[in-house]
Amino acid sequence: MTATTDGSSGPLKSRAATASSTTDTPFVTIASPATSDPPEAARHAAERSVEYLLSIQDAEGWWKGDLETNVTMDAEDLLLRQFLGIQDARTTEAAGRFIRGEQREDGTWATFYGGPAELSTTIEAYVALRLAGDLPDDPHMVRAAAWIREHGGIAQSRVFTRIWLALFGWWKWDDLPELPPELIFLPSWFPLNIYDFGCWARQTIVPLTVVSAKRPVRPAPFALDELHTDPARPNPGKPLAPAASWDGFFQRTDKALHLYRKVAPRKLRGAAMNAAARWIIERQENDGCWGGIQPPAVYSIIALHLLGYDLRHPVMRAGLESLDRFTVWREDGARMIEACQSPVWDTCLATIALADAGLPGDHPALVKAADWMLGEEIVRPGDWAVRRPQLAPGGWAFEFHNDNYPDIDDTAEVILALRRVKHPDPSQVEGAIARAGRWTLGMQSKNGAWGAFDADNTSAFPNRLPFCDFGEVIDPPSADVTAHVVEMLAHEGKAHHPRTRRGIDWLLAEQEPNGAWFGRWGVNYVYGTGSVVPALAAAGVPASHPAIRRAVRWLESVQNDDGGWGEDLRSYREEEWVGHGASTASQSAWALLALLAAGERGSKAVERGVTWLAATQRADGSWDEPHFTGTGFPWDFSINYHLYRQVFPLTALGRYVHGEPFAGRAPGRKGG
């Protein structure tokens, strides 16, 4: 296993200066023996994949692939270091090398492989390269600046980008939405309290209220006139929406908050900022991070620094050290920042894949993985308890350290993984599963479905705020998370439990007219459908059910000519991309998982899909996948999970060869 400094596996592949279309097929090394027999090809491919996956397991029992997003993570890391005065030549040069290598021929940067150029990302990358020493008249910088001006300049960028620029005087604080720290005092029943926001937004907004109140400006190391369409008037105002509309209401509320800022009682504002600081510090994890994700850590460090916390303070020192663990050093000396890390998710998925491919349940690798997952169980309340105060804790988070925010998706999949392991201490496994199962049932939302982190996090107001112009800020139930919970409950003998039936009813009602399901946390309808159909089948919905037949017909209709499946991230916005895109290993596997669960093992579609997976496998047993198939925020923030391309194909091949897991267990009866 080739390890980077943060313990992740393998060097990140360069995607330098690519402007490839999503219809391009990535380079692959065909490793499968020449055979026209899909079962034989699948067996060979699965065997090589098992060997590969076992070879990259960490000695402690976990798996973790790199989590690739876009260069805003790297740009904002450099801006943070500039703001705090802690930049160093090695880090700056390595970050610049990575950002430079991701620029496309037209001078722009995108948020996903092969995607369209994105204004705010391009602005942040440009500024970061200026910090790294690149000059405005360098040819690649000239191209970037010209494109930025052509698309409206800094004034048209998102709020988060302009906040970063305001920290150095490149944008006026008065021209940003107001975010008062008094927000921390709103009770949980009041509209727009901090618990109305999804956990990722909540952890970002609380520290940003301090930054908004303080309005710091550090001396800018250079001007950015070249990024304004009109340098003499860089901050054109946006027209007000009609007063009777929600957008108009919140725009006028923002203007009122700007006026309130001038008369806000000093003691009240000071108390609010101190309360925000306590809230932030109380949620710092044992490893120094916040929520296991990079953006809240960055803003929390800035907020605490503005409130007088010295960089040598234990909280600050631990926070800064945690950021280094998001770093992936490449063999070429470049440095990439992960937005998050996914060891629990990767480990449970790898465990499922290996077990479904026929690895014995008592295999040392699976037992070691189970031991590690059991050690990661969360047994204390977190922010979810605000809405569920009487619910006992249990479950798992996504990351190494994130006890405040266990998530329902990981918890369901970890239970499914643990059930596949023959552990030497069954009572320990049963205890953890029982606690996690009760917690998961208790996190069901009123509509019968499940969100990722919170129950009933469905308020429509947060998305209306002028501040919230980037990505999802609430955590409503989704089909993919609900499906994973239903699948887990069915395998736990609760297929006929009233809560499970409500989840099934919700899923059936959420099916799209074309037969697919929307994918919130994976791209997109292929992911949603690949999650829901196996769950319905596990819960006893027959393959002949109209919903399953519609799903099968849709998957067959969007299969690519090469036999694989793919879906571009643009499907979140543009209907013509729904179910369409270059074939990828992970998305082909999702489609196969649905078709196999629907009883289509001998169908032409399944045989073609299996043949494609076997033929595109590389000689070492892995698959290549430059396309992004994971989702942080639909469209706005995309993820390439480097382990998806390994675990999902192996799971699909394993189920094709060995049959569906738990197939002998009747729904509603606990066994095994």
DSSP 591-611: HHHHHHHTT-TTSHHHHHHHH
Select the more confidently predicted residue: 237 or 191. 191
Read off the tokens for 254: 């923002």
- Check whether 126 has a pLDDT greater than 80: yes
pLDDT tens for 288-307 read 999 999 889 999 999 999 99
Q: What is the mean pLDDT of residues 531-556?
A: 98
Q: What residue segments make up the domains of the chain, in order of their start?
A: 38-67+340-461+476-658, 71-337
Lowest mean pLDDT among 15-24, 65-74, 631-640: 15-24
For 55, residues 6+ apart whose C-beta sits below 8 A from its C-beta are 1
Residue 12 scores a pLDDT above 60: no
pLDDT tens track for 216-251 = 999 999 999 999 987 766 666 667 778 778 778 878
- Kindly state the average pLDDT of the residues 142-162: 96
pLDDT confidence bin for 460, thresholds 50/70/90? confident
- Token pair, residue 529, equals 């459908």
Beta-carbon neighbour count of residue 420 at 10 Å? 22
Instruction: Indicate if 71-337 has the same CATH topology as 38-67+340-461+476-658.
Output: yes
Task: Please report the beta strands in 475-618, taking only residues with DSSP state E, as ranges in sequence order.
Answer: none
**Which band of pLDDT confidence, cut at 50, 70 and 90, is reported for residue 670?**
very low
Region 71-337: CATH code:
1.50.10.20
CA atoms in the 13 A half-sphere facing the CB of 566: 24
Sign of CA dihedral 397, 506, 565, 23: negative
Residue 358 — left, alpha, or beta (φ > 0 → left; ψ -120 to 50 → alpha)? left
Averaged pLDDT for residues 376-382: 96
Retrieve residue 655's tokens. Answer: 């189920």
Residue among 477, 493, 471 at smallest CA distance from 538? 493
Q: Which CATH number fits domain 38-67+340-461+476-658: 1.10.1740.10, 3.40.50.300, 1.10.10.60, 1.50.10.20?
A: 1.50.10.20
Please state, rounded to an integer, the average pLDDT across all residues of the chain. Answer: 91
- Please enumerate in sequence order all residues whose Cβ is within 8 A of that of 30, keeping only pairs 6 or more positions apart, or say none: 615, 616, 617
Which amino acid, residue 672? G
Mean pLDDT (whole number) for 346-370 = 98
Residue pair 505/671 in contact by the 8 Å Cβ criterion: no
State both tokens at 570: 């643009």
Cβ neighbours, 10 Å, residue 505 = 13
Residue 450 has pLDDT above 50, yes or no: yes
In three-state secondary structure terms, 425 is: coil
Cβ count within 10 A of residue 5: 11
Whether residue 32 is predicted with pLDDT greater than 60 in this model: the reply is: no
Amino acid at 305: H
Dist. CA 403–CA 445, nearest whole Å: 21
Q: Check whether 26 has a pLDDT greater than 50.
A: no
Q: Are 598 and 543 in contact, with CB atoms under 8 Å apart? A: yes
The C-alpha atoms of residue 637 and residue 238 are separated, in whole angstroms, by: 25
What proportion of the chain, given as a percentage, has pLDDT over 90? 85
What residue type is 662 in one-letter code?
Answer: F
Would you say how long the chain is, in residues? 672
**Is 409 noted as a catalytic residue in this protein?**
yes
- Residue 509's contacts (CB-CB under 8 Å, 6 or more residues apart) are none
Lowest mean pLDDT among 93-107, 237-251, 484-498: 237-251
Taking CA 405 as the corner, what is the angle to CA 322 and CA 327, rounded to the nearest 5 degrees? 25
Query: Whole-prediction pTM value?
Result: 0.91
Q: Place 5 in a pLDDT band, splitting at 50, 70 and 90.
A: very low
Q: Give me Rg for the CA atoms of the chain.
A: 25
Percentage of residues in the chain with pLDDT exceeding 70? Answer: 92
pLDDT > 50? residue 587: yes
pLDDT (0 to 100) of residue 665: 56
Which of 370, 349, 493 has its CA nearest to residue 428? 370
Read off the pLDDT of each residue in 348-363 and give the average, rounded to a whole number: 97
Per-residue pLDDT at 128: 98
**Closest C-alpha to 41, from 652, 660, 648, 600:** 652
Evaluate whether 68 touches 642 at the Cβ level (below 8 Å).
yes
Q: Which of 74, 403, 409, 475 is catalytic?
A: 409
* pLDDT tens per residue, range 317-350: 999 999 999 999 999 999 999 999 999 999 999 9
Q: Given a cut of 50, is residue 6 above it in pLDDT? A: no
Distance CA 349, CA 416 (A): 9
- Asked whether residue 38 carries a pLDDT value surpassing 70, the answer given is yes
Structural contact between residues 535 and 486, judged by C-beta atoms closer than 8 angstroms: yes
pLDDT for position 239 = 74
Kindly indicate the confidence band of residue 463, based on its pLDDT and cuts at 50, 70 and 90.
Answer: confident
CB atoms within 10 A of CB 654: 24
Q: Is the pLDDT of residue 495 over 80?
A: yes
Q: How far apart are CA 525 and CA 531, in angstroms?
A: 10
Question: Tokens in use for 573?
Answer: 């916005």
